[in-house]
Amino acid sequence: MLVAILNCNLGFAQTEKKLSDDERMAWWRDSKFGMFIHWGAYSIIGGERGTNIAGGGAEWAMDKLDYTVEDYEKFPKIFNPQLFDADAWVTMAKNAGMKYIVITSKHHDGFCLWDSKATEYDVMDTAPFKRDIIKELSEACKKQGIIFCFYYSIVDWHHQQAQGNLYPNYNIGQHDDPSVVNPKFPKYFKNYLKPQVKELLTNYGDIGVVWFDGDWISDYTTEMGKELYSFIRDIQPNTIVNNRVDKGRKGMEGMDAEGNFAGDFGTPEQEIPDTGIDSDWEACMTMNGTWGYKPDDNKWKSSEDLIQKLVDIVSKGGNFLLNIGPDGFGRFPAQSIRRLNAMGEWTKKNGEAIYGASASPYKKPKWGRYTEKDGVIYAHVFNWPKSGILKLHKNIKVKKATLLTDPDTELKSLKTSREVLVEVPIFAPDNPVSVVKIELEN
């Protein structure tokens, strides 16, 4: 299913017939693994101002490093990432085993990476770069069969109506204070936010996902969220929209509270739910400690950890949206490229156990995780048994057991009253996760 979809134009275009929800979600549910890209004028700043270093995400530099709007505007005016190569970016995502890309078309700083007719504060009019990044990346994705998606921030620290009377000395904290009502926000929503979203959905081909952020501000209402969701589906009926389009999200755990909220999937951030969730969800995560580029941040997760996170997420029925923060020249950090290469090596050999797989029907074992697909259980072994005996859940009815990477060598298995024993090689065939394929009795 996924290959068929990815190898042809997804046909989301405005005139296409409206798919059922399951048909519309199918490519996304099968994809499992996507690339998040946080890139913008903050990538020049790199989270540093003089001797100060922004706490947390470098994409918050405008706030964390106390720039006034006027001070910050200097950076879009010098944004000129001459080393940006959309084809190379998409190839790195594809080789890592990622099936879709979500890029920040506009983050909270308000600077737009496409040629927006709603503002001059964009890459074509303000920046010397004068290339439409969203156009180049969407075209590169289409060429290489990767689904193009965009992130859009509801929060906008640059737009006067979005900031209301706080402008130009906005204060993010105050802005989140429900007692500080900004009477101009509805105008920003109607006359700026919606036209920009329409531009992005009209001028750049099929959009797989619209990934909203900034849902937390008190000026943004659930009525606006429901209106925006319908607005998007009217333009591209088969586009998927995350739950940050509305107000249902329960903080960083990312799933919706009880109630009627718009949005097609939950968005846990920097965390993975303890157990499987029987609705659609995608965990988004940084490779180090920041979404935007920040050379000072060396809290890099290991490739082993990232591969095990991918397996853990898929075993619980989720997708993994893993972030890259390119620098101000348009380069991926070397540490990110190394991790992408390692994940690509692993997914190339073991992708059968990931793409299109479902959450495990069994409680997670001590040694790793299970995924399931088409009558097959995949045992993803993080801790390879020194005894040479892998102990499976007692309800697993083995027809044939093999190493995923050695399908011609059948492994012996024995069912006992408490578990199913599978005889495996003494040494783990792969690192950091080896997969045992268990074809089930009908």
Q: Least distance in Å: CB of 303 to ligand FHN?
A: 21
Q: Least distance in Å: CB of 72 to ligand FHN?
A: 15
Closer by beta carbon to ligand FHN, 210 or else 435: 210
- Span from 53-61, 91-99, 224-232, 398-406 in contact with ligand FHN (CB under 6 A): 53-61
**Which element (helix H / strand E) includes 194?**
helix 194-202
Closer by beta carbon to ligand FHN, 320 or else 346: 320
Closer by beta carbon to ligand FHN, 57 or else 97: 57
Residue 225 found at the interface with ligand FHN (CB under 6 A):
no
Q: Least distance in Å: CB of 216 to ligand FHN?
A: 8
Contact 123, 133 (CB under 8 A): yes
**Which residue(s) pair with 421 in the sheet?**
391, 414
SS3 category, 199: helix
Closer by beta carbon to ligand FHN, 291 or else 332: 291
Q: Least distance in Å: CB of 64 to ligand FHN?
A: 10
**Which residue(s) pair with 408 in the sheet?**
none
Residue 213 found at the interface with ligand FHN (CB under 6 A):
yes
Q: Least distance in Å: CB of 50 to ligand FHN?
A: 22
CA–CA distance, 42 with 294 (Å, rounded to integer):
9
- Span from 16-24, 57-65, 90-98, 173-181 in contact with ligand FHN (CB under 6 A): 57-65
Find the DSSP H helices in 32-104: 42-45, 61-64, 69-72, 86-95
Which positions from 276 to 315 touch ligand FHN by CB under 6 A, shown as an x/- string? --------x------x------------------------
Q: Least distance in Å: CB of 108 to ligand FHN?
A: 6
Q: Least distance in Å: CB of 287 to ligand FHN?
A: 13
CA–CA distance, 197 with 228 (Å, rounded to integer):
9
Closer by beta carbon to ligand FHN, 213 or else 372: 213
Residue 411 found at the interface with ligand FHN (CB under 6 A):
no
Sign of CA dihedral 34, 12, 24, 264: positive
Q: Are strands 376-381 and 368-373 parallel, antiparallel or unpaired?
A: antiparallel
Q: Least distance in Å: CB of 284 to ligand FHN?
A: 5
Closer by beta carbon to ligand FHN, 31 or else 323: 323
Q: Least distance in Å: CB of 98 to ligand FHN?
A: 17
Sign of CA dihedral 361, 395, 374, 436: positive
The residue behind tokens 């959450």 is 359
- Span from 56-64, 189-197, 371-379, 427-435 in contact with ligand FHN (CB under 6 A): 56-64
Q: Least distance in Å: CB of 103 to ligand FHN?
A: 11
Residue 254 found at the interface with ligand FHN (CB under 6 A):
no
Answer whether the bond into residue 432 is a cis peptide, omega within 30°. yes
Closer by beta carbon to ligand FHN, 266 or else 365: 266
- Span from 52-60, 87-95, 171-179, 223-231 in contact with ligand FHN (CB under 6 A): 52-60
Closer by beta carbon to ligand FHN, 57 or else 208: 57
Among 59, 256, 280, 312, binds ligand FHN (CB under 6 A): 59
| b/e code 49-80 from CB counts within 10 Å (16+ = b) | eeeebbeebbbbbbbbbebebeebbebbeebb
Among 40, 46, 47, 57, binds ligand FHN (CB under 6 A): 57
| b/e code 110-146 from CB counts within 10 Å (16+ = b) | bbbbbbbebbebbbbebbebebbbbbbbbbbbbeebb
**DSSP result, 218-274:** TTS-HHHHHHHHHHHHHHSTT-EEBGGGSS-B-GGG-PBPSS----SBB--BS---S
**DSSP result, 138-192:** HHHHHHHT-EEEEEEES--SS-HHHHGGGTTS--HHHHT-TTS--TTHHHHIIII
CA–CA distance, 111 with 49 (Å, rounded to integer):
19
Closer by beta carbon to ligand FHN, 284 or else 422: 284
Contact 161, 112 (CB under 8 A): no
Residue 156 found at the interface with ligand FHN (CB under 6 A):
no
Q: Least distance in Å: CB of 87 to ligand FHN?
A: 25
Residue 269 found at the interface with ligand FHN (CB under 6 A):
yes
Interface contacts to ligand FHN, rule CB under 6 A: 57, 59-60, 213, 269, 284, 291
